[in-house]
Structure 1
Amino acid sequence: MLSRRVMNTMTGTMAANHIYATLLSYPDKLGGMGILPFIHNTALVPGDDHSHRLSLPEPLANCANFVPMFGNKTTASNFFVLSTLMYEVQRIHNEYRDFDQIAKLAAVQALVMYSILLSSEKERCLDLCILLVISIAEIVANLQEIASSSDSEQPEEYTDWGKWIYLESKRR
């Protein structure tokens, strides 16, 4: 899955460390309901207490709620947390065909977040990593198939703001 390559130069090592640290910060940011580069700020909705919270599609909402649980796991809860993650990845893999395009994109984004979480694990679950890669590949292929059968995903066809947001998030 994600593993760090040994760099031959100091510049390469510094760049790799920066990128890796940035990626590892994404789960914490999402767990704190922050906006990630691939989530458009229209996902922010005002809260009752004048704060803002995210209004995310189900796969990303589940991911945002799972991240703190993963970050706070202990040796005693490790099996439970990884089992919960395996269940969610299997659920997404089994149900993505019924998702609309936005939920499919959110599913890919959530699965990428899960792979980032697992990259920080010392003891990775090989079955879970394999299922993550397969799920991401299948959903992305499905999204590409839908895009290739649709003429409406051309850049000059941005007539609808919601569609533009979707396409921009997909591009990121």
Structure 2
Amino acid sequence: MKIRHALMITLLLASINAHADEKTVTINAISEAGVGMSVGTITLSDSPKGLVVKPNLKGLPTGVHGFHIHDQGSCDSALKDGKMVAGLAAGGHFDPSKTGMHEGPDGMGHMGDLPALTIEADGTSTASLLAPHLKLADILGHAVIIHENGDNYSDTPKPLGGGGARIACGLVN
């Protein structure tokens, strides 16, 4: 009986540890007025090749969107040049090494670049993405932002890949 009990505890602990390096983040629409309704979730987990991002999103505009980890753990609007800006309290892209460079998830610039997020014609996104230079522990306490436009992983012709406005956000807690 003791062996059976010990085996059950071992299996339970193994199950808990298997999910210890996984976080599900609720993603909400954001606007100048603040945080809105949920548009789904992303699940973040570590793999030997980097951070795996599994979106389960709906109701977003069709197309390719810039997708980034931001410096602060907030999805709130903030004031810039006398105007409220959606998600501005999240700060800039996560750049712990202060590179100041936007080079994409495979580059050597800031670590906040995730692969671009594609929203299908039905407004959903479920295709997994890989951020090879990140681990879940790196981004705890930060915001995940989905931008209005795509991302060319360059600072030209527009800064920060041309992602534009912030349209959705979640907190990695």
For Structure 1 versus Structure 2, the TM-score category normalised by the shorter chain is under 0.3
More strand by share: 2
Give me the TM-score of the superposition, normalised by structure 2: 0.24
Give me the TM-score of the superposition, normalised by structure 1: 0.24
More helix by share: 1
